[in-house]
Structure 1
């Protein structure tokens, strides 16, 4: 089968190679062989290729941590599923393996590309907003990188939860995307001071919940405009800067700093992951949420797709389609 492989760490366009004759994987006990129909590109894919992610599969490996596929054989043959492939054989290939217990039915309301993009980003946003932050109707939710993959999911889920959503983006193109997603207020951080804009929009109160997959200056600014008893949920560090929070500031302002590593739920509480998938499926079937797929590329374009996400040049989700 054809599969992209990484034999050394580096920039995706430089170290990813499309190999035409990689052996097709064989399903072991409790696994499913799936034909990849679509693979959504995630920022962790870029970090993994660069050798900067907390998960470091042995070289050579095939990147791609999220897919929609069709079960190739066995009792579930023909079933359309979504999930995380078993590394080192990732989703940027014609076939991949999934753990059967973590292969979820793809929502019928979504096409392959949209279904592939529903899993990691929306699960992450769901757990951040509901499990960690306890977002309540009527609260103000501040979402950083709101036009990106996980940020766009947080905007939609925040709206679905009855929150007022303030979206922070970088540039007018991404501001337009955030407005289309339904954000109540969009702040272009390249043109205005987002903490001041948040304080003004909330009458000085600030944001009750902050969704931060960026870190760096985004976190520092969030600490300036988080509300009394607010919650800052740390999702990741797309900026490349890991903040060192001033805990004395959190103490005197009475706000919480919460971490979220969604992957841990797959091992610590898989039932919660399945329950979240069921809720997300209901929202998708009702038309309340729909992954924003900005680009659909053929398998041959996977390296460029990962590089685009790595460079922050994408909006919504970039998806690599199967053969």
Structure 2
């Protein structure tokens, strides 16, 4: 089968090679999928560089998120021939004709979503639902501040926040990304590139209002996190989702004490191991929101298979909005 491989670590466009490899055989608890589409994620770029916490042995096929059709023996929830979406099992990632997934890491693909949108659904929306509802307990009428609101993870959080009845303030990195955040439902959008650090804080305070942000969704870290601590409300919750800026912020715990706010880590994958019932709840809730037309991935580019490394490079450089999806060969 055709597959992209990483024989050595580095930047995607420099190290990824396209070739023929054997079709992988599923092991115990695994299902093989005929890949339909692959959504690119920031962890894919980190994995190719060797900077992610999971480091598959070389060579490996990257691509963790996909939509495909069950090929061979399936399960009661994912029978042979059914269309599903989920997370690939390394080293047999999704940027190939066939991929392996754990039988607990797939769910039926909603009929309302085509392959490209279904491929981009699992990680961003599951993470967003777990963060906003399981961790922060977002309430209708609260103010939600979303950093990187035009990105794949941020745009999903904007949609989920609006679906939950929150007032949503989005922060984006350039003027061309404002429209994306608005289209996803943000009530107000701030372009952080127009401000220095102090100016950004002032703009956030103005947008959030006197009470501040009840919940902050932060996949960026760095200066974005620091600014969030200046506008967080009494009994507010800052959700630490990732560090796309490349900077892990230092936390002044004395500040959390005097302002009475919480900092909550969000590692969606851990729920599969520790509280799988939460994943079940999220899947059901998200399926209902899709069926009602309340949420749908913001897919900005659908690329042919041969352009996968270029797509990863654009994602890693922050040049994209929404999700970049690669179609199977």
Query: Into which bin does the TM-score normalised by the smaller protein fall?
Result: over 0.9
Q: Which of 179, 195, 201 is residue 201 of structure 2 equivalent to?
A: 195
Matched, 1:12 2:12: yes
Contact 1:168 1:194 in 2 (8 A): no
Q: Which of 119, 126, 130 is residue 127 of structure 1 equivalent to?
A: 130
**Aligned equivalents of 2:261, 2:296: Cα separation in 1:** 32
Give structure 2 stretches of 5+ with no counterpart: none
Per-residue deviation, 1:194: 3.1
Query: What are the equivalent positions in structure 2 for 1:155-304 lying under 5 Å apart?
Result: 155-192=158-195, 193-304=199-310
**Aligned equivalents of 2:83, 2:157: Cα separation in 1:** 25
Contact 2:169 2:208 in 1 (8 A): no
Q: Structure 1 residues 109, 9: CA separation in 2 closer, same or farther (over 3 Å shift)?
A: same
TM-score scaled by structure 1?
0.98
Q: What is residue 154 of structure 1 aligned with on the other side? A: 157
**Aligned equivalents of 2:225, 2:152: Cα separation in 1:** 18
SS at structure 1 position matched to 2:324: strand
TM-score scaled by structure 2?
0.96
Per-residue deviation, 1:280: 0.8
Q: What is residue 46 of structure 1 aligned with on the other side? A: 45
Deviates more, 1:97-106 or 1:220-229: 97-106
**Aligned equivalents of 1:175, 1:201: Cα separation in 2:** 15
Per-residue deviation, 1:74: 2.5
SS at structure 1 position matched to 2:302: strand
Per-residue deviation, 1:28: 1.9
User: Structure 1, residues 53-105: CA drift from partner, whole Å, max 9, x if none?
Assistant: 11111111111110000011225221000111111111111100111232200
Q: Which of 132, 137, 140 is residue 137 of structure 1 equivalent to?
A: 140
Query: What are the equivalent positions in structure 2 for 1:73-92 lying under 5 Å apart?
Result: 73-74=72-73, 76-92=79-95
Contact 1:63 1:89 in 2 (8 A): yes
SS at structure 2 position matched to 1:320: strand
Q: Which of 73, 98, 101 is residue 98 of structure 1 equivalent to?
A: 101
**Structure 1 stretches (4+) deviating beyond 6 angstroms?**
none
Per-residue deviation, 1:262: 0.9
**Aligned equivalents of 1:209, 1:168: Cα separation in 2:** 14
